Structure 1
Amino acid sequence: LVGGNDDAVHAVNTLAGRGLRTLGVARTIPGDLETYELVGMITLLDPPRPDSAETIRRCNEYGVEVKMITGDQLIIAKEVAHRLGMSRVILDAGHLVDPDKSDEEVTQHCERADGFAQVIPEHKYRVVELLQKRGLLVDMTGDGVNDAPALKKANVGIAVHGCTDAARSAADIVLLAPGLSTIVDGITTSRAIFQRMRSYALYRITSTVHFLMFFFCITLIEDWQMSAILLILIALLNDAATLVIAVDNAKISQKPDKWRLGQLITLSLVLGTLLTAASFAHYYIAKDVFHFDSEKIATVMYLHISSCPHFVIFSTRLSGYFWENIPSITFIIAVLGTQVFAMLISIYGLLTPKIGWGWGVTIICISLGYFVFLDFVKVQLFRYWSFELTAKLWPSKTRRTKLQDRKAYAINHARIVGNISKVRKVVIMSR
């Protein structure tokens, strides 16, 4: 309306560099109702929430890459990104619809960029679509009608506090608390639940393999059976130990988790087989070396089966060594309480012939030592068995090729990002 004004354009860009939106104020010239003159500017500040920078930092720590999509000017978007602790690699929305670039090139721009400016609803939808074609799981947050298409397209659409009805209908999750910190709480809670489920599944499969292999084989080989009351006690103590997994101090993984059934089953079979070997060793040592009768052997086996597999639960809760993450007090008391209960029954012979303190303490110490050995075996399996693309111990040639291609792409991506950073530094220094 007021025509070209270099000073006004420079002022707008300067204010935008400080993250300020600018509203121009003009008036008509007396005697000429169709001509306007600029009389001033009103600046508007829409700062990010105080917790936004911390939320983005924590998301990055947990392997969640954050990209900003805004309708503001490119200069404003870069300043906001800087305040949030993000890189200033912000692209104009024109890159998303450039006819001279292929979808592959545009997708690479989407992956490298930390955000997009001057976007419209169709641009948001296209960003989500391109990232999904790359095989990424995309989460979209929004609050307005213009965010609804992208929220619907995303793998997980999150409507923030105070959103419109359209955004709420299109989203998968609606946040009732203001701010984005709730998303981080959701990530940590879900990963803690996953770790507990994984710990429970690994321990349960391991103990099942152990019980089935030992009792099936020993019944066929020796025609020996444990009394029903002792079997019931073993089952009850086993359930009591596993129930407290729900209140364990789960270790939050730094990367997104994934169910790997091959890993789970193989590790369970290895641990279950080793526990079975220990049970056979206890049985034959008690029978052939110390010449215990069948009832006293039952007491020895009861204490062994009630202690050694139960200690393994301290190992299955982590992929590293058991001391790297201390369990909760409730977890420790519940598991160790079952051991004390089983030991007292065996020592004093409440429901079975007693074996005395010497044998009771010896069996518990052997179980502790064997638990440390099993924990070492578990760590070595995790360390030398790659689970990145496959759950097979020996990946096929095709899978190995995919793994190599992914690593090559990651190296090339890091090189490109490094070059962009170097160019940015040179430009800043030249100014």
Structure 2
Amino acid sequence: MTAHIPSDDAVRNLLRRMFDAAVASADPLKTVAQNLPSKPEGRCVVIGAGKASAAMAGAVDAAWPDVDLSGVIVTRYGHAVPAGRIRILEAAHPVPDAMSLEAGRTLEEAVQGLTDKDLVIALFSGGGSSLLVAPAGAMSLADKQAVNKALLHSGATIREMNAVRKHLSRLKGGRLALAAQPAKLVTLVISDVPGDDPSDIASGPTVADLSTLQSVREIIARRRIDLPQSAQQFLKENVETPKLGDITGDVRIIAAPALALDAAARVGKEWGLQTLILGDALEGEAREMGTVLGGIARSAKHRGQPIKGPAVILSGGEATVTIGAGSAGRGGRNTEFLLGLAVALEGQDGIWAIAGDTDGIDGTEDAAGAIITPDTLARGTQAGMDAKACLAAHDSYSFFERLGDLLKTGPTLTNVNDFRALVIV
């Protein structure tokens, strides 16, 4: 990169190239084919759930045309792609619907009656928790929907939410693995969670659960999560999820946030930037994360610490947005992070940023995220938008929509969590 200040368009293009590189690193067509096990003597049944699961299933079908193969996958509405011999269902995210319930029943049936010569390939990615529903005890679909809504508004981390979900399901937390016995089980996972723990991804239907009833009760109390009576009653029955030793199977992480950040860093280096990866597992309140990263970026700009520009600071993970009891506008954790970052930077020159969910959907909106520039606040004022007021109202989508700075990709058919990049020149 030359010493002069690059144009706004040039930096915007660079930010988009880094985001696209991060997404491409988790392409299911490549990563699944590279991680398939040996072919079985008997049948192969493919099951799975998540935003990337249909594309993952298509890769298995294409790689094994000579295998007796069948199965069923559930993905989010709008994320379905043809998968040959494997049936694709679509259901709702982030709050389950009737098709989520149908998916749970259908996957459970698909693994019945198998032998030790058969193979089950389980394909899971982010989003699977709401797409695959099998209420435990006397819980109804409405009860599960109420649980999900309460979790999403509680400020709980993704790990805490999944711990609760696992203990309120007939299939999650390793219970689907028990249903598939005695078939051989191989689980392929595209990680979207901090730390890449496969038991957290889609709430781990085929993976031993490390959380406990005691930890779930503590989460519910600390986060003040109001559960339906049927859910409270089931948790009192002391039914624990399968633990290590209860399940046999091979679990393979085939794509992860750290690999996505490495791919983006290579693009930054090609542009002549120093690169700093803060980590792939940053968590916390989205707007507060914006304040913290804003402080780091300003320090890099003025003091050359912790990195001297021109540079890019990369991070991944999953922030949270705590709505509370009040009403909220439109937005997701990535646009809220960016609006918090813009407010913290106060129009600082020479700093740009992008943040987006690698699945292409930030929260429930039609954008993956957005981009901020040194003049974001000034352009917002000119457009009649008060950044601080929008932040207080959780209305970040509306702010960036008015400025034309939303990042819209459509469903990417993969998911390795949130991606953030700050460029300092």
Same fold per superposition (TM over 0.5): no
Q: TM-score, normalised by structure 2?
A: 0.22
- Greater RCO (CA < 8 Å, at least 6 residues apart): 2
Which protein is richer in strand relative to its size?
A: 2
Which protein is richer in helix relative to its size?
A: 1
Larger Rg: 1
